[in-house]
Amino acid sequence: MRSSFSDFRKAGHWPTLLAAFLYFDFSFMVWVALGPLILYIGRSLHLSVADRFNVVAIPILAGAVLRIPLGALADHIGAKATGAGAQLVVIAAIAYAWLFGLRGLPDLELLGLALGVAGASFAVALPQAGRWYPPRYQGLVMGIAGAGNMGVVLETLTAPWLAEHFGWQNAFGFLLLALVPTLVFYLVAAKDAPDERQRASWRNYRALLADADSWRFMFFYFITFGGFVGLANALPLYFTLQFHVSGIAAGLIVAVIVLFGSAFRPVGGHIADRLGGIRTLLLLFAVVSAAYLAVAFLPSGPAAASGGWDLADMPGVAWLAMLLFSGGVLALGMGNGAVFQLVPQRFRREIGIMTGLVGCAGGIGGFLLARVLGLSKVYTGGFTGGFVLFSLLALVSLAGLSLVRKRWRASWGAVSGARV
- Averaged pLDDT, 122-139: 78
Q: What percent of the chain has pLDDT over 70?
A: 94
- pLDDT recorded at residue 3: 42
Answer yes or no: is pLDDT of 420 > 50: yes
- For residue range 31-74, list pLDDT tens digits in order: 989 989 998 999 999 999 889 998 998 998 998 889 888 888 88
Has residue 8 been placed in a domain? no
- pLDDT recorded at residue 42: 92
- For residue range 290-325, list pLDDT tens digits in order: 999 999 999 999 988 777 899 889 999 999 999 999
Answer yes or no: is pLDDT of 148 > 80: no
Instruction: Return the minimum-mean-pLDDT range out of 91-100, 231-240, 243-252, 406-415.
Output: 406-415
Nearest CA to 114 out of 19, 230, 27 is that of 27
Q: Check if the beta carbon of residue 260 is closer than 8 Å to that of residue 336.
A: no
CATH code of 168's domain: 1.20.1250.20
Answer yes or no: is pLDDT of 122 > 70: yes
Rounded to the nearest 5°, which phi and psi values hold at 362? -65, -45
Helix spans in 122-211 (H): 122-130, 138-146, 151-166, 168-189, 202-209
Number of domains in the chain: 1
Has residue 375 been placed in a domain? yes
Nearest CA to 172 out of 39, 47, 30 is that of 30
- For residue range 214-268, list pLDDT tens digits in order: 999 999 999 999 999 899 889 999 999 999 999 899 999 999 998 888 888 888 8
Q: Report how far residue 311's alpha carbon sits from residue 242's, in angstroms, rounded to the nearest whole number.
A: 15
Has residue 196 been placed in a domain? no
Has residue 117 been placed in a domain? yes
Identify the domain containing residue 398 by its residue range.
14-191+214-415
Burial 105-127 (b: 16+ CB within 10 A, else e): beebbebbbbbbbbbbbbbbbbb
Rounded to the nearest 5°, which phi and psi values hold at 309? -70, 140
Which amino acid belongs to residue 116? G
C-alpha 392 chain-centroid distance: 21
Has residue 37 been placed in a domain? yes
- pLDDT recorded at residue 195: 67
- pLDDT recorded at residue 344: 83
Q: Report how far residue 185's alpha carbon sits from residue 20's, in angstroms, rounded to the nearest whole number.
A: 10
Answer yes or no: is pLDDT of 401 > 90: yes
Has residue 368 been placed in a domain? yes
Interior angle at CA 84, CA 81 and CA 89, nearest 5: 125
pTM of the model: 0.81
144 or 264, which is more confident: 264
Interior angle at CA 386, CA 382 and CA 389, nearest 5: 145
Has residue 246 been placed in a domain? yes
Has residue 157 been placed in a domain? yes
- pLDDT recorded at residue 162: 94
- pLDDT recorded at residue 166: 95
Query: How many residues are there in the chain?
Result: 420
- pLDDT recorded at residue 200: 64
Per-chain mean pLDDT for the chain = 88
Answer yes or no: is pLDDT of 196 > 80: no
Answer yes or no: is pLDDT of 287 > 80: yes
